[in-house]
Amino acid sequence: MRVEYDIKLGFKDVMFRPKRSTLKSRSQVSLQRTFKFMHTSIEWTGVPIMAANMDTVGTFEMAIKLAEKDMFTAIHKHYSLDEWNAFLSNAPEGIENNIAVSTGTGENDLDKVKAIINTNTHLKFICIDVANGYSEHFVAFVKKARELFPDKVIMAGNVVTGEMVEELLLAGADIIKVGIGPGSVCTTRVKTGVGYPQLSAIVECADAAHGLGGQIISDGGCAIPGDVAKAFGAGADFVMLGGMLAGHDESGGQVVEKDGKKYKQFYGMSSATAMDKHAGGVANYRASEGKTVQVEYRGPVESTVQDILGGVRSTCTYVGASQLKELTKRTTFIRVAEQENRVYTK
C-alpha cells in the first residue's frame, strides 16, 4: 500500500487570480477554438463545450440547439439505426461537425456504431465511453476502432491519470475523456471509494495529452459556469456537461408535476433507472453507480447556454484572454477555503 501526500484539487478549491487586461468588454472574447487531431486529417472549429452522452442530455434535440451556438453534443448510444437515419435526413446541414456517435465496448455496441457510420459516412466523431477506461479490453477496443475507422476522430474514456491518457492516445484515440467520480448523478466514489479530484485530473491529463499532440475533455463535476471556466483554465480542451444541461425542453427524461411545479427526471447512465430502461435491470454482480433525481424544469436550453458562455467570456476578460485558447496560459489559480457568499442562497 502507498499513500500519495500531494494535495489534489477540485473546482471548489481554487479561484482565478484577476490579471491586468487590455480587454474592454466580454464581447471582445472569442470562445471558438480550432483543433487538429492526432490520428486524422480532420480540423475542427467551434465552441468546445459539449453535452454528455447521457440519454437525458445527449439528445438529437439538444444537438440541433447546441450546434446553433457552434457547440457539440455526444449523442447517447441508445438511439437505433432507424432513429439516426431519420434524424440525419432532416437535421441542419453540417450537423456532422457538432455531433459524435457514442458506443460502449460490447459486440452489440460495435455492430450498431459500424452500421450508423457505414450508412452515414459523413459523420466524423466517435465517442467510446466506459465507466472505467483502465482495462486492457478497453485499450484493445480503441485499437480496433482506430483500424475500423481510420479517418474518424475518436474520443475515448474515462480515465484520470497521465499514463493512461498516453496509452489510449497511442492506441489510436485522438481525444481523451477525463473524469472518474465527479459527475452530479454519479455514485462511484460512494460505492467504490475510487476517484480523483477533477481540477487536478485535468491539469495532469492535459499535460500528458498535449505532450503527444492529443486533446482532453473534462467530463463531469461542473455545476456552475465558473466551474466550466476553471476546467478550461486548468487545461481542458473541451468541457462536457450533464447536469448543467438537464431539465430543459431539449433534454430527455419525463416531465413530472409535483405541488404545481414541473420537474424533469435526470439520472446517471449506471443508475438503476438507466439499467432498467436499457439493460433489463441491474445485473446481480454489480451495484448501480448512478443516482436518479428530479431537477426543476428550466424551459429552453438557450438561456442556460447564454449564461455558461457569458460566464466563460467574463472569466477571459478578468484574466486578459482575448481568446479561449489563451485562458489556460493566463491562468493563475489561488487555493481558497471559501467560494461564494451563501447568505441569500435558498
Which residue ranges make up the site for ligand 5GP (CB under 6 A)?
A: 52, 54, 131, 158, 179, 183-186, 188, 219-222, 240-244, 268-271, 289-290
175 carries a ligand binding annotation: no
Residue tagged active-site, from 186, 209, 305, 321: 186
108 carries a ligand binding annotation: yes
With contact defined as beta carbons under 8 Å apart, do 301 and 251 qualify?
A: yes
Cβ contacts of 324 within 8 Å, gap of 6 or more: 29, 30, 31, 32, 33, 47, 48, 232, 312, 316
- Whether 186 sits among the annotated catalytic residues: the reply is yes
128 carries a ligand binding annotation: yes
**Cis bond before residue 158 (omega within 30° of 0):** yes
CA angle 159, 161, 164 (to 5 degrees): 70
Return the number of the residue (247 or 268) whose C-beta is nearest ligand 5GP.
268
> Distance between CA atoms of 255 and 244, rounded to whole angstroms?
17
Minimum distance from residue 158 beta carbon to ligand 5GP (Å): 6
Return the number of the residue (84 or 238) whose C-beta is nearest ligand 5GP.
238
Minimum distance from residue 157 beta carbon to ligand 5GP (Å): 8
116 carries a ligand binding annotation: yes
Helix, coil or strand: residue 62: helix
> Distance between CA atoms of 320 and 251, rounded to whole angstroms?
34
Return the number of the residue (52 or 101) whose C-beta is nearest ligand 5GP.
52
Q: Which of 137, 244, 122 has the alpha carbon at shortest distance from 182?
A: 244
316 carries a ligand binding annotation: no
Minimum distance from residue 282 beta carbon to ligand 5GP (Å): 11
Minimum distance from residue 242 beta carbon to ligand 5GP (Å): 3
> Distance between CA atoms of 146 and 169, rounded to whole angstroms?
11
> Which residues carry a binding-site annotation for K(+)?
181, 183
> Which residues carry a binding-site annotation for NADP(+)?
108-131, 216-239
Catalytic residue numbers read 186
